[in-house]
Amino acid sequence: MRELYSQTYNSDIYTDENVLYRNELIDTVSLSKGLTYLYGKDTALFPLLTLTEGQGGITGLKPKALNDTQYTWNVMGRQRNTFTVKALANTNNTKPGLGFTSFEVDCTDDWAKRYYSATTPDKEHQIRVQGTGVPQATGLVRYRFVLNTSDPTDYISLANFQDGQVWVLGATSVPASKSDGTSSNSIAPGKWTNQFGFQRYSKNIAGNVANKVTNVEFDLEGGGKTNLWMPFEMKQFEIHKRQMMEEQLWNGIYNRDSNGVIHLRDDETGEPIPQGAGIKEILKTTGQYETYATMTLNKWDSIARTLFTNRVDYTPMELVVYGGSGAMDQINTAIKSDAVGNSYYEKLGAEEIMSGKDGYLSYGKYFNQYKTIDGHIITFKYSKLFDQGSLAEMDRANGRVYDNLPYESYNMVLLDQSMNDDGERNIQLVGEKGREVITGVYKGMSPLPGAWGAIADNKILSTKKDEASYEIMTSQGITMKNYTTSYYLEFSR
């Protein structure tokens, strides 16, 4: 077997008959008209678009002002009951609280309130906050504490007053009569912002290419086959467009500065070009991110505990980890190593080695779920995007490969796909209302292909040239309303 001619990549502005001839797609009849996909069919590259579009998670927003594509959402943290100590005010006091005497402590803020109790970091003692904190010239707040104890020899160890030690507030305590009131803390909602961007994709044709028949037979999207070129090229066009849109949702970079100015501008019009943060930047910016070289079950347990303690409600959590073959292998190996470490050899072997046909054995079953000790289930989902997407392609070209897989394949993104209290998905696709997706045809003298659909029925000419173009404009961004229950693990060697 030999290669008759190599695959070629067309970057011409127009698709016309010359392109087909140049790629040897119009010639004498060949023995087989079936097309062999050397690299497979690109139909599993769009996990985020499938997630959001498939569940109706597309939100159209009206812009606040011209060229303003920002959108915001309110967030509410949990009530904070901790405060941070800077140091003892009197550094010569080596036994604070001894003999029921009061002592002063400098704290980083005024979160402690008078008459509240507080527990030391070592959990050995409780104190009472005797009065309101007094602001200092250093920016610290000075409090007077008294140790709550029945033992005159009792005191608090100095380790509890080291810079950065965190104490926790407890219940108030006042006398039975003649008491005065205290004050309390509250938290207000915060606000996060992102923005959607606009995208344009065009397919230009010229001549009579819409009616040209090739020597290769192509599968149609809805079934059946065709020898016409344009249905296949439009399928390529659509897959390429969706891949670019999908990858932008993962890898997009927010480009509005702290003053709200967008510095990326179009050369021809001078108009600003907004781009929003993708999933990876959102998680990096919010601190839901770390790197890893080898996955262990202990690391997964640590991450899972952090995420689950960030959400205090009874809404079922849908936690899915997306990654490529490398990520799936790392996860499977981590779970299997833990099982072997616990001597589950017999059970593991019985599950992995199965009887096959004709007396042969088959080997291979792999873990794709993990249940935490508190009952949460994490599902690991293979995504072809991490193996075959643009970043994976670049990794291979640059030699960033481990065990014959690109580094991108080992990246893991844990997404909380749950419903929130309002009955909406945590992760949603966002676009400008009325311009989520707009399609149109710029028609000239060239016959239009049937693949362009009903849009092509308009016979009004836009140009007298023998050319036409299919135009798509989209507006797109991603929203992760609660980022605290998602996480990004980036592979690093």
241 in Cβ contact with 266 (< 8 Å): no
Tell me what pLDDT residue 39 has.
41
Same domain, 230 and 326: yes
Whether 307 and 271 map to the same domain: the answer is: yes
Residue 488 has, within 13 A of its CA and on its CB side, a CA count of 18
Choose one of 147, 172, 197: the last residue of a domain: 172
Pairing state of beta strands 437-442 and 427-432?
unpaired
213 - beta bridge partners? 228
The span from the CA of 102 to the CA of 277, in Å, is: 51
Residue 188 corresponds to which tokens in the numbers above? 């207000």
183 located within any domain? no
142, β-bridge pairs: 106, 134
Residues 218 and 104 in one domain: no
Q: How far apart are CA 164 and CA 394, in angstroms?
A: 44
Q: Could you tell me if residue 179 is inside a domain?
A: no
Check residue 190 and give its pLDDT: 63
**Residue 91 domain-assigned?**
yes
Q: Are residues 369 and 489 in the same domain?
A: yes
pLDDT at res. 374: 65
- Asked if residue 178 is part of any domain, the answer here is no
Closest CA to 326 of 222, 439, 404: 404
Segments forming the whole domain that contains residue 389:
1-78+189-493
Is residue 102 domain-shared with residue 7, that is, in the same domain?
Answer: no
pLDDT for the residue numbered 469 = 81
Same-domain check for residues 57 and 114: no
Residue 81: C-alpha distances to residues 76, 78, 127, 313 (Å): 15, 9, 15, 19
Question: Which residues, 6+ apart, have CB-to-CB distance to 8 below 8 Å?
Answer: 22, 23
d(CA 337, CA 296): 8
User: What is the predicted pLDDT for the residue at 492?
Assistant: 92
Asked if residue 489 and residue 374 are part of one domain, the reply reads yes
Same domain for 45 and 30: yes
For residue 425, the cross-strand partners are 419
For 421, list phi and psi in degrees, rounded to 5. -65, -20
Q: What type of residue sits at position 250? A: W
Closest CA to 304 of 378, 363, 240: 378
Does any domain span residue 62? yes
Alpha carbons 331 and 381: distance in angstroms, whole number: 11
Dist. CA 389–CA 409, nearest whole Å: 9
In a domain, 184, yes or no: no
Q: Tell me the pLDDT tens digit for each residue of 416-471.
A: 888 766 677 788 888 887 777 777 777 776 777 776 665 555 555 566 677 778 78
Are the C-beta atoms of 255 and 262 separated by less than 8 Å?
yes
In a domain, 203, yes or no: yes
Please give the C-alpha separations between residue 117 and each of 86, 129, 148, in angstroms, as whole numbers. 18, 6, 9
Tokens in use for 50? Answer: 């499938």
> Are residue 468 and residue 343 in the same domain, yes or no?
yes
> 10-residue block means of pLDDT along the chain (493 residues)?
50 58 50 44 66 56 56 66 91 93 93 88 91 92 92 93 91 76 65 78 79 78 76 80 87 85 86 87 92 89 76 66 92 74 48 52 56 73 90 92 95 86 77 78 71 59 71 83 89 90
pLDDT one-digit tens code per residue, 174-197 = 777 777 777 776 655 566 778 878
Q: Are residues 433 and 366 in the same domain?
A: yes
> Are 331 and 302 part of one and the same domain?
yes
Cα separations in angstroms, 36 against 32, 39, 227, 232, 337: 10, 9, 15, 14, 40
For the CA atoms of 90, 94, 99, 102, what is the dihedral angle to 10 degrees? 20
Amino acid at 442: Y
Query: What's the total number of domains in the chain?
Result: 2
Instruction: Examine residue 177 and state whether it is found in any structural domain, yes or no.
Output: no
Same-domain status, 360 and 218? yes
Looking at residue 10, its pLDDT comes to 60
